[in-house]
Structure 1
Amino acid sequence: MAILTRAGRIELANAIKQKSIYLAWGQGAIEWDTQLPSEPSSSTELTSILGYRKATRVLYCDADEQGEIQVPNGRYKIVAGPTPHLYCQFNYDFNDGLSKSIRELGLMVGTKPKASTPSGQLYFQPEDIEQKGTLLLLEHRPAIYRDQGVRESFEFVISF
């Protein structure tokens, strides 16, 4: 039986880290407010994309019970690199997706905005995207209503 070695996992993390990483968020379906559906591994896109936000930080990390990063699957600490774990942080601005309900998140790899978008822009509407990229992670969640006084932040640790 073959296994994926630690060195192989690190190589996968390196390959992903070199690409553009965005978090897409969407409205999902209103029926999800009563019961969230499971996330099928065959998914390739969100149900109802509202926008894409470029990662604020993509860093290597390692499991650590005292680590400063706390996600549902454990605690991690930032390390110089390379490891089979990537920490991805996304900080949305106050006006991103304003007055919308967010029920789905998708970590996208290889997303490419259109060349006509302004340099330095970090949030993109679906029509501003030339290449959606590959859906690496999908999460359905209870609705978050986007209020003007709230700046949403999301953190993920992806382990290979």
Structure 2
Amino acid sequence: MAILTRAGRIALAKSIKQEDIYLAWGQGAIEWDNQLPPEQSASTQLTSTLGYRKATRVLYCEVDQENGEIQVPNGRYKIVDYPTPHLYCQFNYDFEDGLSKTVRELGLMVGTKPNADVPNGKPYLLPSEVSQIGTLMLLEHRPAIYRDQGVRESFEFVISF
């Protein structure tokens, strides 16, 4: 039986880290307020995308259950300055991103490309400003978040290869 080695996992993390990473958020379906549907591994996009936020930080990390400063549902990690099979991705939305919308789904996208007429470096993209949505690497359905004035949403994920 073949295995994916640690060196192979690190190579995958290095490759992904070189790409633009965005977090797409979407409205999902109102029926999800009663019961969230399971995420499907065959999914390629969100149900109803509101926008895409470019990652604020993408860093290598490693497991540190006792002292890790990064806490995500699957454990604690610490930032390191060398390649590992784990990538920490942080996304900080601005106050006006998705204002007055309800968010029920998140998708970590790799390779999202803005339209040619979008100003270079614009961190938040509307669906109409995207020429290529990229590859959906992570999908999360979540309880509804209403985007209200004065609230700045932040999300953190650790992707392990």
Normalised by the length of structure 1, the TM-score is: 0.99
Amino acid at match of 1:107: L
Shift of residue 51, structure 1, vs aligned partner: 0.2
Q: TM-score, normalised by structure 2?
A: 0.98
Give, as a single letter, the amino acid of the residue that structure 1 aligns with 2:97.
D
The C-alpha deviation readout for 1:36-91, integer Å capped at 9, x for no partner, is 00000000000000000000000000000211000000000000020000000000
One-letter code aligned to 2:84: T
Task: Measure how far apart 1:120 and its partner are.
Answer: 2.7
> Distance between the aligned counterparts of 1:124 and 1:19, measured in 2?
16
Deviation at 1:154, TM superposition (A): 0.2
Distance 1:55 1:114 in 2: 18
**Could you tell me how far apart the structure 1 residues matched to 2:157 and 2:92 are?**
12
Q: Which residue does the alignment assign to 2:18?
A: 18
Partner residue of 1:137? 138
Over aligned residue pairs, what C-alpha RMSD do you find?
Answer: 0.5
CA distance in 2, matches of 1:135, 1:20: 12
**Partner residue, 1:67:** 68
- By how many angstroms is 1:16 displaced? 0.5
What's the counterpart of residue 36 of structure 1? 36
Match of 2:126 in 1: 125
Q: Which runs of 5+ in 1 are unaligned?
A: none
Q: Deviations over 1:76-122 (max 9, x none)?
A: 00000200000000000000000000000000000000121112310
| AA at the equivalent of 1:45 | Q
Counterpart residue type for residue 29 of structure 1 = A
Higher mean C-alpha deviation, range 72-81 or range 113-122: 113-122
- Structure 2 partner of 1:8: 8
Identity of aligned residues (%): 79
Gaps of 5+ in 2: none
Which amino acid is the alignment partner of residue 84 of structure 1?
Answer: P
C-alpha separation between the residues in 1 aligned to 2:99 and 2:18?
A: 31
Give the AA of the match of 1:80.
Answer: D
Aligned partner of 2:54 in structure 1 is: 54
Residue-pair matches, total: 160
| Match in the other structure for 1:155 | 156
